[in-house]
Amino acid sequence: MSLAGWCLVAASRAQQLPPPSLWLHPSQGVSLGDTVTLRCHLPRLAAWVQLWFNGTLRSDKEKDEEHNTVEFSLVVTNLEDAGTYQCRYQVSEPLWTSSMSDPVELVVTGEGTGDSGWT
């Protein structure tokens, strides 16, 4: 199969999986040191969920099959945490990956203190 043919197959498979949706909590601007929860709601069972930041994979989690929402927590440690977040999911049988969720924008509005890291 040619590369163009493979891309068409991959694109058609992504279209067969409904995209997830992503929400921020809190949804308004946050200050440095605040904790933000990013909730990726899945329209169907999935094996893995990925969180993307400005087009780059930021985190991934194995999915708990009993829940349709996966949470990623971030302590905002610097202004570079502000940006565009999206999520997508992967199912294992057959091995397909969804398209990306609609983007959400994290706005960092002020200064504060706190620890760093993802959970």
Domains of the chain: 3-111 (2.60.40.10)
- Mean pLDDT across 8-37: 80
Computed over every residue of the chain, the mean pLDDT equals 83
> Do 32 and 77 meet the contact criterion of CB atoms below 8 Å apart?
yes
Nearest CA among 65, 23, 36 for reference residue 48 = 65
27-53 pLDDT, tens per residue?
878 999 999 999 999 998 888 999 999
> Do 52 and 86 meet the contact criterion of CB atoms below 8 Å apart?
yes
pLDDT at 112: 53
55-69 pLDDT, tens per residue?
999 999 988 667 789
pLDDT tops 80 at residue 106:
yes
Identify which has the larger pLDDT, 5 or 40.
Answer: 40
pLDDT at 111: 66
